[in-house]
Amino acid sequence: MQPWIDPQMETILQRMKAGPAVDFRAMPIAEARVASDTATLPWSVGAPAIESRELRIPGPGHAMRARLYVPDGGQLSRLILYVHGGGWTFGSIDTHDGTMRGLAVEAGCPVLGIDYRLAPEHPFPAPLDDVLAAIDYVEQGGLGEPVRPGNLAIAGDSAGANLALAALIRRRDHDLAPLAAAALFYGCYEPDFGTASHAAFGGGDFLLTSANMRWYWNNFLGQEADSTASLAAPVRSDLSGLPPLYLSAAGLDPLRDDTIRLAHRLGEAGARFRFDHVPGVVHGCLRMWRELDAARAMLAAGGTYIADQLKNKKAGGNHPWNAGLSSS
273's CB contacts (< 8 A; 6+ apart) are: 244, 245, 246, 247, 263, 266, 267, 316, 318, 319
- b/e per residue 193-222 (b: at least 16 CB within 10 A): eebebbebbbeeebbbbbebbbbbbbbbbe
DSSP label at 318?
B
Tell me the pairing of strands 111-114 and 152-157.
Answer: unpaired
- The catalytic site residues sit at 158, 253, 283
CA distance to 56, 68, 184, per residue, from 114 (Å): 9, 9, 16
- CA 2 vs. chain centroid, Å, equals 28
58: alpha, beta or left? (left if phi > 0; alpha if psi -120 to 50): beta
Work out the widest C-alpha separation in the chain, in whole angstroms: 56
- Nearest residue to 58 (alpha-carbon basis) of 115, 138, 137: 137
Residue 327: CB atoms within 10 A of its CB come to 13
CA distance to 69, 178, 188, per residue, from 48 (Å): 10, 30, 28
Q: Give burial (CB, 10 Å; 0-12/13-18/19+) of 50.
A: middle
